[in-house]
């Protein structure tokens, strides 16, 4: 599970907030870090979106922002967001739909640092807390993870940790195969040169 703003995405415009749904880019290094979580991992976004309650964006705009993030980051399966300051509402956004999950046992516990969104995501995917990790950039992220019983890692540490050794087995095999192919090509070129000289 991963926080989004300041952890995985930032405004492309350099402004503090997204100017429109497409005003997003991945934070440098986050794409490489995400590559380390492939087989057996389900990656979901968890984000407070109090900007909806504050009147900075509409619900529809908020959903569009999440759906654009899902386009930008194909490894993300879905995004949970809480649009109010009391933690009463929770929506789950997939590439094509949005679902209202507000009426669960975690009503009023959705906004981080409350753990409701994390708990809902774990129950939906049948993952116990000890098998999960939450990555975030703010104290409320750390607190939400603690209350959900999930290991927490700071975004900065997480990105740094994954910058050097994130090749998957498949990628290593492909790289090695490509090197061999390049060698073969060079040999072929060498033979052609020899023939021309003759």
Q: Which residues bind Mg ion (CB under 5 A)?
A: 3, 5-6, 137
Distance in Å, CB of 70 to Mg ion, minimum: 17
65 or 137, CB closer to Mg ion?
Answer: 137
Beta carbons within 8 Å of 159's beta carbon, 6+ residues apart? 27, 28, 29, 30, 32, 33
The least CB distance from residue 57 to Mg ion, in Å, is 16
Query: Residue 7 or 67: which CB sits closer to Mg ion?
Result: 7
> Among candidates 130, 118, 57, 55, which has minimal Cα distance to 92?
118
Minimum gap (Å) between residue 71 Cβ and Mg ion: 20
Q: How far apart are CA 139 and CA 177, in angstroms?
A: 45
CB of 79 to Mg ion, least distance (A): 13
Which CB, 23 or 107, lies closer to Mg ion? 23
DSSP 129: G
The residue whose Cβ lies closest to Mg ion is 6
Q: Which is nearer to Mg ion, 90 or 155 (CB)?
A: 155
Q: Hey, which residues does 133 pair with through a beta bridge?
A: 151
Residue of 134, 174, 128 lying closest to 151 (CA atoms): 134
């Amino acid at each position: 599970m991963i926080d989004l703003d300041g952890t995985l995405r930032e405004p492309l415009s350099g402004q503090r907030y997204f100017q429109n749904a497409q005003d997003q880019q991945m934070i440098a290094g986050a794409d490489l870090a995400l590559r380390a979580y492939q087989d057996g991992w389900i990656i979901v976004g968890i984000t407070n979106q109090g900007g909806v309650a504050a009147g900075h964006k509409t619900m529809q705009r908020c959903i569009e922002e999440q759906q654009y993030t899902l386009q930008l980051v194909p490894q993300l399966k879905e995004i949970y967001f809480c649009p109010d300051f009391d933690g009463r509402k929770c929506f789950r956004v997939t590439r094509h739909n949005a679902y209202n999950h507000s009426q669960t046992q975690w009503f009023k516990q959705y906004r981080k640092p409350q753990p409701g969104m994390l708990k809902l995501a774990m129950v939906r995917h049948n993952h116990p807390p000890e098998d999960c990790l939450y990555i975030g950039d703010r104290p409320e992220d750390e607190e939400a993870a603690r209350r959900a019983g999930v290991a927490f890692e700071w975004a900065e540490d997480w990105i740094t940790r994954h910058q050097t050794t994130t090749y998957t087995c498949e990628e290593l095999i492909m790289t090695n195969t490509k090197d061999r192919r390049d060698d073969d090509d060079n040999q072929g070129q060498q033979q052609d040169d020899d023939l021309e000289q003759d």
